[in-house]
Amino acid sequence: MSFRSVIQEVKGEIGAISRRGFRSRPGRVRRVAAAAEEPPDESAAALIRESCWTQLPPELLREVLARVEESEGWWPRRRDVVACAGVCRSWRGIVGEIVHTPEASGKLTFPISLKQPGPRDAPMKCFIVRNRSTQTYYLSIGLTDALTDDGKFLLAARKCRRTTCTEYLISLDMNDISKGTDTYVGKLRSNFLGTKFTVYDAHPPYAGDVISKGQSARVIGSNHLSPRIPAGNYPVSHISYELNVLGSRGPRRMHCAMDSIPVSAIEQGGTAPTQTEFPLSYHESFTSIPFFKSKSVRANNSTASLLTQNGSKLVLKNKSPRWHEHLQCWCLNFHGRVTVASVKNFQLVASDESNPTNQEHDDVILQFGKVGKDMFTMDYRYPISAFQAFAICLSSFDTKIACE
């Protein structure tokens, strides 16, 4: 049998098992994040553990899995890579070494990918769908170059009104968006006026981070989360909107302080903190494996030390639009990714506030804009993650009494 035939047969068997494992689960149907597909169930995994492919020599197995990873470059076919990681410990270890972070590969594969910095070379093109009746928002990654398509679900958020604030709970599960679940990953909280927001991560964004002492900080029992990392409120970003003297006719002015990202991350050779574990209890042995550990942990420790020493946080500000005399409106170049004028539209760029000139950078890190009544595009790139970008975009949906 030729090497190409071996790869094709492995892909065929893995694909059949992954489809059977993902679709034939008893009980309530749950749509979990695209990059957080659950591994095959025990019966499906047992089938492949007993197959001849588990007896391959390690060198040959690594080569076969590398070819599978390379050929299944985008969703939905990329679920086969996730299925390979769920077969057994040896396969999981090899896949963990082969699959790179989104920063290096430009791909979202495992759940932890949603908490890791985006690609450096090109933005990750996503879109958000709003459901007005249920006050929910769904983030998906595009499968084609079109503005909107069926997409691959990534994250969901639900708006919760409180007496003195508004919260947006963010989850990997579009059907169960609450704090008490294994799929809860963080939240966005606003003040009463809707002018200041704080993004909280349910897990520490880097080694040595300190949990917030706020009222809702909590530790979930071992039946919800791995006891190694308590769930709580880790502030990763502060967002503020300034008073708009032109009312709804003028653009909003945004200011985002990224608490967990040093300003050096956007400099030549700089690194951003990269989470290496996603300690959800469901199939914990699968999802809490520290993929990409060796390089990222060193970056996490150095970043924590850097932020402690000089407190130089990355600051993002909205790119200033220009007034178009002919159209009589404020305009930004969204390169065809935004088609409807809206006060919610924005582009965020880095602004080094430690620089006396407060110079604005040209590279757009996060772009958000309207393309339909309840459809919006969201394009993000390094050094922020999909989770951080989604939370920042959610702040644009909230009513801002003092700004409009």
pLDDT one-digit tens code per residue, 233-269: 889 999 999 866 555 555 678 899 999 899 999 988 8
pLDDT-derived band at 124 (thresholds 50, 70, 90) equals: very high
Average pLDDT, the chain: 76
Which own/partner pairs from 39-46 qualify as long-range (CB within 8 Å, at least 24 positions apart)? Answer: 39/82, 39/83, 39/85, 39/86, 39/283, 39/286, 40/83, 40/86, 40/87, 44/17, 44/18, 44/20, 45/17, 45/21, 45/86, 45/87, 45/88
CATH fold of 112-206+230-270+310-396 reads: Tubby Protein; Chain A (3.20.90)
pLDDT in tens, 328-343: 777 888 988 999 988 8
pLDDT tens digit string along 193-213?
Answer: 888 999 999 888 765 555 555
Phi, psi of 35 (to 5 degrees): -85, 5
pLDDT-above-90 percentage for the chain = 33
Strand partners of residue 167: 160, 189
Sketch the domain layout of the chain as residue ranges: 52-99, 112-206+230-270+310-396
Average pLDDT rounded to a whole number, residues 164-176: 93
What is the reported pLDDT for 361?
A: 67
- Proportion of the chain above pLDDT 70, given as a percent: 65
Strand partners, 158: 136, 169
Q: How confident is the model at residue 383 (pLDDT cuts 50, 70, 90)?
A: very high
> pLDDT band at 13, cuts 50/70/90?
low
The tens digit of pLDDT for each residue in 347-373 reads 999 986 644 445 556 789 999 999 999
Cβ proximity of 51 and 44 under 8 Å: no
Residue 118 has pLDDT above 80, yes or no: yes
The CA R_g of the chain, rounded to the nearest whole Å, is 22
